[in-house]
């Protein structure tokens, strides 16, 4: 059997619920998607629970599961993936966190968890903070995309068993990090001291003073969460016998891929934001498909619109995606397999991840043709009702790479 190439396009946070603003349709139902619908007509279709029915998956645990890694076994926290995705050096014993630049008032009550989605100046904000020494611990910080950053604590006697400083909501005071195990008391103490010192520096920083003059929200605090140690992940090529690459705009997914030995293809304009160059990502797939057996593409923008609770913005994003995926589909080699799905739902009515299943379609030249339109409702006519952990087995089967079980 001729082995085939596979492209997995994950539309981050694509799944949604009925929106009153969209005549009680989901954004995917409401959007004009001639290309996605055309592909669905030539594909196996259905629904996928990225972890399990009703489980509110994070982008980290869902991507791990979809790529064939049991998150209940390998997941130690989001922080190490963020740090790895930003190419921070990680040593044994380091404790890593993901962070948000946020805006707080004088009483440390959160006004905006994303500091107005700050896009510029975060590198300057961190210049005076990176390398800070607290007791016998060194603190390293590095900016990510927009309001995101990663934090690493390095020193003796540290533990990842600490609670989040980020309260995950606005209108409430930031949390004190608490030790979740006795051995984590030092880590919680160091983390709280870092947050206090960093806040004192950031609130007086010239970048923030200029933001305030312009009527913008200052990025006057860092809110750490998702503590973890670097996990051991089996290399993707050894696990699945496929040379793999990823094209992503967010450090989190890049970090997961990096720790799994998946090559990251950097694409100019792939920002991880609304302004990401989707067409450039698809061109990069086509340019690199000869070198790799499997390419993962992540497009973050639908998730942003869901978190921002903007259903019409999500419709706009989906229609841009439709054009880009249509271009990819029209230029794929005849024997390539194309999978389009999401890592989780981010309903605009919720403003956060939910446990609602996501649509999925799998196209191959000889695939059973089940679909009509690509949305959460129309795909119900298809045969797929799977979990994320099933997907790599299905991909290996349809690419003629599956090992026979039995004689």
Distance, CA of 77 to CA of 159 (rounded, Å) = 12
Residue 102, beta-bridge partner list: 221
Q: Is the pLDDT of residue 53 over 90?
A: yes
Q: Could you read off the pLDDT of 134-192 as tens digits, one per residue? A: 999 999 999 987 888 999 999 999 999 999 999 999 999 999 999 999 999 999 999 99
Q: Is the pLDDT of residue 231 over 90?
A: no
Which of 117, 79, 127 lies closest to 227 in space, CA to CA? 79
| CB contact set of 66 (below 8 Å; sequence gap of 6+) | 8, 10, 50, 341, 343, 388, 389, 391, 392
- The tokens describing 224, both together, are 């750490």
How would residue 380 be classed by pLDDT, with cut points 50, 70 and 90? very high
pLDDT for the residue numbered 241:
96
Contact 94, 152 (CB under 8 A): yes
Contact 224, 166 (CB under 8 A): yes
Topology at the third CATH level for domain 6-75+233-398 = Alkaline Phosphatase, subunit A (3.40.720)
In the Cβ-directed half-sphere of 119, how many Cα atoms lie within 13 Å?
Answer: 5
Q: Could you read off the pLDDT of 256-268 as tens digits, one per residue? A: 999 999 999 999 9
CA angle 227, 232, 233 (to 5 degrees): 110
pLDDT for the residue numbered 40:
98
Percent of the chain beyond pLDDT 70?
Answer: 100
Q: Is the pLDDT of residue 1 over 80?
A: no
Q: Kindly list the domain boundaries of the chain, sorted by start residue.
A: 6-75+233-398, 82-228
Task: Kindly compute the dihedral angle of the four CA atoms of residues 347, 350, 353, 357, in this order, to the nearest 10 degrees.
Answer: -50
pLDDT for the residue numbered 407:
82
Distance, CA of 208 to CA of 206 (rounded, Å) = 5
Residue 11, beta-bridge partner list: 299
What is the reported pTM?
0.85
**Which residue would you say has higher pLDDT here, 323 or 90?**
323
pLDDT for the residue numbered 261:
95
pLDDT for the residue numbered 93:
87
Q: Is the pLDDT of residue 233 over 80?
A: yes
pLDDT for the residue numbered 406:
92
């Amino acid at each position: 059997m001729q082995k085939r190439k596979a492209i997995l396009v994950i539309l981050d946070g694509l799944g949604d619920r009925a929106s009153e603003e969209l005549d009680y349709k989901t954004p995917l139902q409401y959007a004009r998607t001639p290309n996605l619908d055309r592909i669905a007509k030539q594909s196996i279709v259905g629904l996928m629970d990225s972890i399990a029915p009703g489980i509110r998956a994070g982008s980290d645990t869902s991507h791990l599961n979809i790529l064939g890694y049991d998150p209940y076994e390998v997941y130690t926290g989001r922080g190490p993936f963020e740090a790895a995705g930003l190419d921070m050096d990680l040593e044994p014993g380091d404790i890593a966190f993901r962070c948000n630049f946020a805006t707080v008032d004088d009483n440390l009550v959160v006004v905006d968890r994303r500091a107005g989605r700050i896009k510029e100046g975060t590198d300057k904000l961190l210049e005076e903070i990176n390398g800070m020494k607290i007791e016998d611990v060194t603190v390293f910080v590095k900016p990510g995309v927009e309001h995101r950053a990663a934090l690493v604590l390095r020193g003796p006697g540290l533990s990842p068993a600490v609670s989040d400083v980020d309260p995950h909501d606005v209108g409430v005071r930031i949390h004190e990090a608490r030790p979740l195990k006795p051995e984590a008391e030092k880590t919680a103490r160091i983390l709280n001291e870092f947050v206090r010192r960093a806040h004192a520096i950031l609130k007086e920083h010239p970048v923030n003073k200029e933001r305030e003059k312009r009527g913008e929200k200052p990025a006057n605090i860092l809110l750490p969460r998702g503590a973890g140690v670097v996990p051991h992940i089996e290399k993707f090529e050894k696990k699945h016998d496929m040379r793999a690459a990823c094209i992503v705009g967010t450090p989190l997914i890049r970090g997961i891929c990096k720790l799994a030995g998946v090559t990251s293809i950097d694409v100019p304009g792939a920002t991880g934001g609304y302004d990401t160059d989707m067409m450039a990502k698809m061109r990069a797939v086509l340019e690199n498909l000869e070198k790799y057996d499997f390419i993962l593409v992540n497009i973050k923008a639908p998730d942003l619109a869901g978190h921002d609770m903007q259903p019409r913005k999500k419709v706009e994003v989906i229609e841009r995606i439709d054009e880009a995926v249509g271009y990819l589909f029209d230029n794929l080699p005849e024997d390539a397999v194309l999978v389009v799905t999401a890592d989780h739902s981010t309903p605009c009515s919720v403003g956060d991840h939910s446990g609602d299943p996501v649509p999925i379609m799998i196209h191959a030249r000889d695939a059973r043709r089940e679909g009509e339109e690509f949305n959460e409702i129309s795909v119900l006519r298809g045969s797929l009702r799977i979990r994320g952990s099933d997907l790599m087995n299905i991909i290996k089967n349809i690419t003629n790479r599956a090992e026979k079980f039995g004689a």
